[in-house]
């Protein structure tokens, strides 16, 4: 076990450079350290100017997503020991504009998430007097996987279509739309289908599958999108065969 | 539901100080997963190749025994034996990757529980075997 | 029929399934086993008889045309994404689906006109 390891971190200071560069720091190696610990060590002891996002440090907030040796990862869940002997390259997530160092702007995702209406849509709200919505374990099972999304955006960084088509709604937004479509309390599936069937929606996805591979919460956004395509196609056939049907 | 909260940040869309890395036209060579994906997609070219070969065979059959004999001779040529071998390998890749992807798109729920992926996969491979055997059986009746 | 994308995706899926299930065996027989003599070739007269059945004609139509549409849809996206040919998106779509339609038309014509 070495006593130190090299961390090559992407730096971007817009006030003095026009392109990111890599700066290498020699940090102590501890076998229980994750990349986030290493970054915090740099900030505390070596270079206070390094900027990066983090919060819960236990894989539930989705703040610390970055590329480690080219793969999108949660830095709070990526052990230094898996990357020996180093150097370990830490870069900001792909396909989002870099604000500074390892910080990227996520406004595009937030806007797209809002577009898919990620909330329970009811034709009529159930009055309080009628009590709570009841849901069986099987009904919960139908959407639970998609509800585990922590909006860490590793999937967007892994999706080449998002890189090539900035208008693409993207894996997490579509998976979250499905989370509500499959919820037995929701009545907004038709509304959401109209939104994601637009040009930049589900039909742009070519099932590369990288989003599912990098997802730290096993949401399987690729699966969500393919299932959505099947639903979209079935609804389209139904609308052809029964044009007068009120859907 | 509520007003749009900073939903249209036009002023930030082209913020001059943010860095946007350009996506190279060689993006698909930059990592193994992307290259594998493009190869998987290109299996469709070999699928189209064989569709055309079968169309050619159909045309030859319809135009009489001489035309069909010419088609058979062409199939025996080294060029087509090579092409067909390569196409066969790619078509196999298509089948295997296609079967692996289908359970993701086809989610069946029986009495509330999701049918496991391996069942869907197994059913596809079983269908593959049964249909292939049926084709061989029909064509072997000469 | 506001959008045809769902139809194109259905054709792509159906074609992909037909190709996945049936092309390995057909390609093995027609491209390798029969030419190399590994398995005895069906006789011309037998194939002619098979072709008179409407079921055979339907089978061949599905066997040839659906995978052509599978290729068209998939290849179109591969060109568009892979080579970043955004400015040619309409041309690529027309060429791909057009080629598939042409192949389908030729197949239908041949199968319809068998005596």
Q: Can you give the pLDDT at residue B8?
A: 53
B contacts of A114 (beta carbons < 8 Å) = 4, 7
Q: How sure is the predictor about B140, in pLDDT bands with cuts at 50, 70 and 90?
A: confident
The reply to whether residue C81 touches residue A237, judged by beta carbons under 8 angstroms, is no
Residue A188 lies in a domain: yes
The reply to whether residue A229 touches residue C81, judged by beta carbons under 8 angstroms, is no
Q: Is there a single domain that holds both residue A77 and residue A146?
A: no
pLDDT digits (tens, 9 = 90+) for C29-45: 999 999 999 988 888 99
Q: How sure is the predictor about A18, in pLDDT bands with cuts at 50, 70 and 90?
A: confident
Q: At what angle do helices A221-241 and C5-27 cross, to 10 degrees?
A: 110
Quote the CA–CA distance of A67 and A9 in Å, as a whole number: 10
Q: Is there a single domain that holds both residue A40 and residue A161?
A: no
The reply to whether residue C3 touches residue A236, judged by beta carbons under 8 angstroms, is yes
Q: Can you give the pLDDT at residue B1?
A: 44
pLDDT at A8 over 70: yes
The mean pLDDT of chain C is: 91
Q: Is there a single domain that holds both residue A190 and residue A115?
A: yes
Distance from CA of A230 to the nearest CA of B (A): 7
Q: B18-32, B42-56, C59-73: which has the minimum mean pLDDT?
A: B18-32
Q: Look up tokens 């030419």; give the residue.
A: C35
Region B83-99 average pLDDT: 96
The reply to whether residue A161 touches residue C1, judged by beta carbons under 8 angstroms, is no
Residue C63 in tokens: 């066997």
Count of CB atoms within 10 A of residue A189's CB? Answer: 18
- Say whether the ipTM exceeds 0.90: yes
Q: A52-61, B36-45, B125-134, C45-54: which has the minimum mean pLDDT?
A: C45-54
Q: Can you give the pLDDT at residue B3?
A: 47
The reply to whether residue A206 touches residue B20, judged by beta carbons under 8 angstroms, is no
Q: Can you give the pLDDT at residue B117?
A: 87
H or E element, residue C28:
none
Residue A79 lies in a domain: yes
Which of residues B128 and B9 earns the better pLDDT score?
B128
Partner residue facing A223 (CB), from B27, B33, B104: B104
The reply to whether residue B12 touches residue A136, judged by beta carbons under 8 angstroms, is no
pLDDT at A1 over 90: no
Number of structural domains found in chain A: 2
Q: Is there a single domain that holds both residue A134 and residue A199?
A: yes
B contacts of A163 (beta carbons < 8 Å) = 23, 27
Look up the CATH number of the domain holding residue A168: 1.10.1060.10
Contact between residue A6 and residue A80 where contact means Cβ atoms under 8 Å apart = no
Q: How sure is the predictor about B105, in pLDDT bands with cuts at 50, 70 and 90?
A: confident
Any B CB within 8 A of A234 CB: no
Q: Can you give the pLDDT at residue A196?
A: 93
Q: Can you give the pLDDT at residue B101?
A: 93
Q: Can you give the pLDDT at residue A178?
A: 96
Q: Is there a single domain that holds both residue A169 and residue A98?
A: no
Q: Is there a single domain that holds both residue A52 and residue A111?
A: no
A contacts of B6 (beta carbons < 8 Å) = 107
Last residue of a domain, one of A62, A88, A104: A104
Q: How sure is the predictor about B41, in pLDDT bands with cuts at 50, 70 and 90?
A: very high
Q: Is there a single domain that holds both residue A91 and residue A118?
A: no
Q: Can you give the pLDDT at residue C1?
A: 41
Partner residue facing C75 (CB), from B44, B52, B53: B44
pLDDT at A22 over 60: yes
Q: Which of B27, B38, B51 to mutate to test the interface with C (most CBs of C within 10 A)?
A: B51
The reply to whether residue C9 touches residue A161, judged by beta carbons under 8 angstroms, is no
Look up the CATH number of the domain holding residue A80: 3.10.20.30
Q: Which of C3, C6, C14 to mutate to test the interface with A (most CBs of A within 10 A)?
A: C6
Which chain C residue has its CA at the smallest distance from A200's CA?
C5
pLDDT at C113 over 90: no
Query: In terms of residue numbers, what domain contains A163?
Result: 107-241
Residue A247 lies in a domain: no
pLDDT digits (tens, 9 = 90+) for A149-204: 999 999 999 999 999 998 999 999 999 999 999 999 999 999 999 999 988 899 99
Q: Which of A200, A229, A240 to mutate to test the interface with C (most CBs of C within 10 A)?
A: A229
One DSSP character per residue, chain A reads --SEEEEEEEE--TTT-SS-EEEEEEEE--TT-BHHHHHHHIIIII-TT------SSSSSS---EEEETTEEEEGGG-BGGGGTT-PEEEEPPTTS-EEETTEE--HHHHHHHHHT--S---SSPPPGGG-PPP--HHHHHHHHHHHT-----HHHHH-HHHHH-TT---HHHHHHHHHHHT-TT---HHHHHHHHTSTTSGGG-----HHHHH-TT---HHHHHHHHHHHHHHHHHHHHH-TT---
Which chain B residue has its CA at the smallest distance from A114's CA?
B7
Q: Can you give the pLDDT at residue B2?
A: 46
The mean pLDDT of chain B is: 87
Quote the CA–CA distance of C27 and C51 in Å, as a whole number: 19
Region A201-217 average pLDDT: 95
Cis peptide before A87 (omega within 30 of 0): yes
Last residue of a domain, one of A104, A127, A148: A104
pLDDT at B75 over 60: yes
Closest by CA position to A171, among listed A143, A206, A141, A198: A206
Distance from CA of C10 to the nearest CA of A (A): 7
C contacts of A207 (beta carbons < 8 Å) = none
Q: Is there a single domain that holds both residue A151 and residue A90?
A: no
- Neighbouring residues of C60: CB distance < 8 A, sequence distance ≥ 6: B54, B58, C107, C111
Q: Which of B19, B40, B42, B117 to mutate to test the interface with A (most CBs of A within 10 A)?
A: B19
Q: Is there a single domain that holds both residue A119 and residue A236?
A: yes
The reply to whether residue C5 touches residue A206, judged by beta carbons under 8 angstroms, is no
Region A29-53 average pLDDT: 96
Q: Can you give the pLDDT at residue C89?
A: 87
Q: Can you give the pLDDT at residue B17?
A: 84
C contacts of B81 (beta carbons < 8 Å) = 31-32, 35-36
The reply to whether residue A220 touches residue B104, judged by beta carbons under 8 angstroms, is yes
Quote the CA–CA distance of A70 and A84 in Å, as a whole number: 15
The reply to whether residue B19 touches residue A14, judged by beta carbons under 8 angstroms, is yes
Q: Can you give the pLDDT at residue B11?
A: 52
Cis peptide before A85 (omega within 30 of 0): yes
Q: Can you give the pLDDT at residue A30?
A: 94
Distance from CA of B10 to the nearest CA of A (A): 11
What domains are there in chain C, each with its CATH number?
Answer: 5-112 (1.20.1300.10)
Last residue of a domain, one of A49, A77, A104: A104
pLDDT at C51 over 70: yes
Residue A44 in tokens: 């505390």
């Amino acid at each position: 076990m070495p006593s130190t390891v090299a961390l090559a971190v992407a730096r971007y200071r817009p006030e003095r450079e026009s392109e990111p560069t890599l700066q290498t720091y020699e940090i102590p190696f501890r076998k229980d350290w994750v990349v986030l610990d290493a970054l915090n060590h740099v900030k505390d002891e070596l270079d206070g100017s390094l900027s990066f996002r983090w919060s819960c440090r236990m894989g539930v907030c989705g703040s610390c997503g970055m590329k480690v040796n080219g793969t999108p990862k949660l830095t709070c869940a990526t052990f230094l020991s898996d990357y020996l002997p180093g150097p370990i390259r830490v870069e900001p997530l792909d396909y989002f504009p870099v604000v500074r160092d390892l910080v990227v702007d996520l406004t595009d995702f937030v806007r797209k998430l809002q577009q898919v209406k990620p909330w329970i849509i009811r034709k009529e709200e159930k009055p309080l007097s009628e009590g709570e919505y009841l849901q069986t374990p099987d009904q919960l099972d139908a959407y639970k996987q998609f509800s585990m999304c922590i909006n860490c955006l590793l999937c967007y960084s892994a999706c080449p279509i998002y890189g090539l088509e900035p208008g693409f709604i993207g894996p997490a937004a579509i998976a979250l739309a499905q989370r509500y479509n499959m919820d037995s309390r929701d009545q907004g599936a038709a509304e959401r289908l109209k939104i994601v069937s637009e040009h930049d929606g589900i039909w742009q996805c070519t099932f590369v599958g990288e989003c599912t591979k990098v997802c730290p919460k096993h949401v399987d956004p690729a699966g969500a999108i393919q299932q959505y395509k099947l639903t979209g196609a079935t609804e389209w056939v139904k609308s052809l065969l029964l044009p007068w049907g009120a859907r | 539901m509520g007003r749009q909260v900073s939903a249209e940040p036009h002023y930030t869309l082209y913020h001059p100080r943010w860095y946007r890395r350009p996506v190279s036209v060689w993006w698909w060579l930059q990592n193994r997963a992307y290259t594998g994906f493009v190869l998987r997609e290109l299996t469709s070219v070999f699928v189209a190749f064989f569709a055309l070969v079968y169309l050619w065979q159909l045309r030859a059959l319809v135009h009489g025994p001489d035309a069909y004999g010419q088609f058979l001779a062409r199939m025996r040529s080294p060029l087509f034996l090579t092409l067909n071998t390569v196409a066969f390998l790619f078509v196999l890749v298509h089948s295997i990757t296609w079967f692996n992807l289908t359970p993701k798109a086809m989610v069946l729920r029986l009495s509330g529980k999701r049918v496991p992926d391996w069942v869907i996969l197994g059913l596809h491979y079983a269908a593959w075997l049964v249909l292939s055997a049926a084709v061989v059986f029909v064509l072997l009746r000469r | 029929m506001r959008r045809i994308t769902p139809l194109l995706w259905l054709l792509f899926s159906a074609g992909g399934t037909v190709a996945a299930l049936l092309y390995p065996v057909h390609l093995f027989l027609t491209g390798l086993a029969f030419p190399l003599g590994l398995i005895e070739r069906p006789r011309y007269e037998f194939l002619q008889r098979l072709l008179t059945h409407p079921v055979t004609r339907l089978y061949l139509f599905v066997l040839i045309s659906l995978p052509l549409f599978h290729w068209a849809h998939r290849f179109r996206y591969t060109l568009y994404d892979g080579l970043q040919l955004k400015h040619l998106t309409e041309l690529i779509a027309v060429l791909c689906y057009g080629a598939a339609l042409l192949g389908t038309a030729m197949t239908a014509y041949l199968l319809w006109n068998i005596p």
